[in-house]
Amino acid sequence: MHHIYHTHGFVLSSHNKGEANKMLTVYTREMGLVRAMVQGIRLHKSKLRFSLQDLSYSHIDFVRGKDIWRITTASNISTFPFARSSKRSLLMIARISKLLERLCDGEESNEKIFDDFIQVLFLLDDMNVSASSREALELHLVLRIMNALGYIGDSLMLTDYLGGKIDLSQTETLLREKRSIISHINKALNESQL
């Protein structure tokens, strides 16, 4: 009997396998980055295809197979419809998803990154989010991801952005210090060698 792991996760990307299967890359709160196979998901009769679309947030049950993880059941939490309807928000989510795949490879939990990521997704899922707020959210989230992974050193300027919740009240301040924050992020990305 296999143990079933119940968690919630965000589908970062997927790749077709065989005639009807998909290999998903899912970022989860408890298990970190997981690559898992879903059998028959591309068939029209599949109940899982709506819950496991790319860039969707779902409750997911994983089972460890002989060589790979398999997803047995899933139910949708949110597809972030307003964020998906905005090309700029969708591009931002895709960039962050690629960054998470690049930096968080492996099944290592980082609840702080996961919570910040989901919080930003819910903030983006607002019809009235402005372009400057979107830019500030992306900058803030990337800075916090790099910090949570240990790539941002001590900086008094960044202290206010690294704790507490991410919200839109810091938008103006973040954007005023944009050049310096981007410099810290780029330095951290270079030092990560990933």
Tens-digit pLDDT profile for residues 48-61: 988 999 999 999 99
Domain end among 41, 63, 78 = 78
Q: Assess whether 104 and 132 both reside in one domain.
A: yes
Domain end among 30, 55, 78 = 78
Q: Assess whether 66 and 16 both reside in one domain.
A: yes
Helix, strand, coil shares, percent, the chain, to 5: 40, 25, 35
Q: Assess whether 101 and 162 both reside in one domain.
A: yes
Q: Assess whether 13 and 93 both reside in one domain.
A: no
Alpha helix (H) residue ranges in 46-158: 81-85, 87-103, 111-124, 131-148
Q: Assess whether 55 and 133 both reside in one domain.
A: no
Average pLDDT over residues 38-46: 91
Containing 180, the helix (H) or strand (E) segment is helix 178-192
Residue 59 CB-density burial (10 A; 0-12 exposed, 13-18 middle, 19+ buried): middle
Q: Assess whether 129 and 74 both reside in one domain.
A: no
* pLDDT value, residue 34: 95
* pLDDT value, residue 57: 97
Domain end among 63, 78, 93 = 78
* 147/140 Cα distance (integer angstroms): 11
pTM of the model: 0.90
* pLDDT value, residue 106: 79
Tokens at 24, concatenated: 């998903």
Q: Assess whether 97 and 185 both reside in one domain.
A: yes
* 185/52 Cα distance (integer angstroms): 31
* 11/185 Cα distance (integer angstroms): 24
Q: Report the DSSP beta bridge partners of residue 3.
A: none
Give the three-class secondary structure for 33. Answer: strand
Phi, psi of 189 (to 5 degrees): -65, -40
Q: Assess whether 26 and 37 both reside in one domain.
A: yes
Domain total for the chain? 2
Q: Supply the range of the domain harboring residue 23.
A: 4-78
Nearest to 117 by CA among 87, 147, 91, 137: 137
Per-residue pLDDT tens digits for 89-134 = 999 999 999 999 999 877 888 999 999 999 999 999 998 889 999 9
